[in-house]
């Protein structure tokens, strides 16, 4: 069975929908299980009861079906600016939580999929970062996520760490919803123009997560002919790159065409220094997807294509 952590968050909800659509055995948790507490993690894994909620309300015919063999960790402390003044809380989730899950997965023979971030890099590169590039986080959030990666790598071998960036999706607050709301309520807004990266639709990342599980399970089955995806660190975002300013302009243009934006708004650029955020951000955090594309044999959609489909979807609802 699959244990999905952060199941009610933006990415977790997208993953949960796919797990249900594929009729897989899964259980999800949010704040009900404190992953910074090793006893709470152990208690959940060893429990023989049907906790929280399951795909299709399935009933287990035998205890073996309750055994967790995959853990997907979508939980994270992502308040980048707040983390600067609350490192303890950020570290509890991003570092200690990752360590506890890795140890529990190792001890119970489960595989771990852990979501990480582009913030493990300092943003000084001029070309897309690869998985082999040296990490150098500049803020508390990035450091706690980087330390979480290290904790996993030193605690177990059967893991997949997926670094991603600039996430948006249907469930929860995100940049696309925020911009759309501002366009419909303001006459002019300012957006940072000197930070570059790649927007990532949660639905595309969720599909990649499920593909890792499916390919691994098929490879280990009696009829498996292909090798499972190699364990390790991978990068996943949509294809292409942009600035926050141009991302906002594209949201506005698409919103005007599909009716999500109903009034005129002027969008102007500002520098990171002028914006004045508390936490440092990488100026350039484009991630190379070559490794995961080869390993999973997938074609990743361009960020503009995924954004257009997202904003045209009937599930689009500003939160």
* Active-site pick, 141, 159, 168, 171: 141
Structure tokens at 130: 């690869």
> Residue 140: which of 105, 101, 92 has the closest Cα?
92
Q: What is the CA radius of gyration of the chain?
A: 20
Q: Give burial (CB, 10 Å; 0-12/13-18/19+) of 117.
A: buried
Does residue 160 carry a catalytic annotation?
no
Between the alpha carbon of residue 127 and those of residues 138, 239, 241, 285, the distances in Å are 18, 14, 11, 9
CA dist 90 and 111 (Å) reads 24
Task: List, in order, residues 6 or more apart from 253 with CB less than 8 Å away.
Answer: none
136 C-beta neighbours (distance < 10 Å), count: 14
> Residue 203: which of 66, 15, 51 has the closest Cα?
15
What is the helix (H) or strand (E) element at residue 71, kind and residue range? strand 70-73
- The set of catalytic residues is 141
């Amino acid at each position: 069975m699959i244990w999905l952590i952060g199941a009610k968050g933006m990415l977790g909800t997208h993953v949960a929908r796919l797990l249900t659509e594929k009729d897989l055995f899964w259980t999800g948790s949010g704040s009900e299980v404190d992953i910074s507490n090793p006893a709470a993690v152990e208690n959940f894994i060893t429990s023989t009861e049907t906790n929280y909620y399951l795909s299709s309300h399935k009933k287990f015919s035998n205890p073996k079906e309750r055994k967790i063999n995959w853990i997907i960790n979508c939980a994270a402390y992502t308040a980048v600016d707040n983390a600067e003044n609350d490192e303890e809380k950020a570290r509890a989730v991003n570092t200690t939580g990752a360590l506890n899950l890795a140890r529990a997965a190792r001890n119970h023979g489960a595989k771990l999929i852990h979501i990480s971030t582009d913030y493990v890099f300092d943003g000084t590169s001029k070309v897309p970062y690869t998985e082999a590039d040296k990490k150098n986080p500049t803020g508390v959030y990035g450091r706690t996520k980087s330390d979480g990666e290290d904790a996993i790598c030193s605690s177990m071998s059967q893991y997949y760490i997926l670094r991603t960036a600039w996430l948006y999706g249907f469930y929860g607050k995100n940049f696309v919803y925020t911009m759309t709301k501002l366009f419909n309520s303001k006459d002019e807004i300012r957006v940072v123009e000197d930070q570059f990266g790649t927007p990532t639709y949660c639905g595309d990342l969720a599909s990649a997560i499920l593909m890792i599980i499916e390919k691994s399970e098929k490879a280990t089955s009696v009829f498996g002919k292909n090798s499972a995806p190699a364990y390790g660190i991978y990068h996943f975002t949509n294809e292409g790159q942009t600035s926050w300013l141009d991302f906002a302009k594209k949201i506005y243009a698409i919103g005007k065409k599909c009716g999500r934006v109903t009034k005129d708004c002027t969008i102007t650029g500002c520098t990171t220094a002028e914006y004045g955020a508390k936490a440092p951000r990488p100026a350039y955090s484009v991630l190379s997807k070559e490794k995961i594309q080869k390993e999973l044999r997938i074609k990743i959609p361009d960020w503009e294509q995924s954004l257009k489909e997202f904003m045209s979807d009937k599930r689009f609802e500003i939160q």
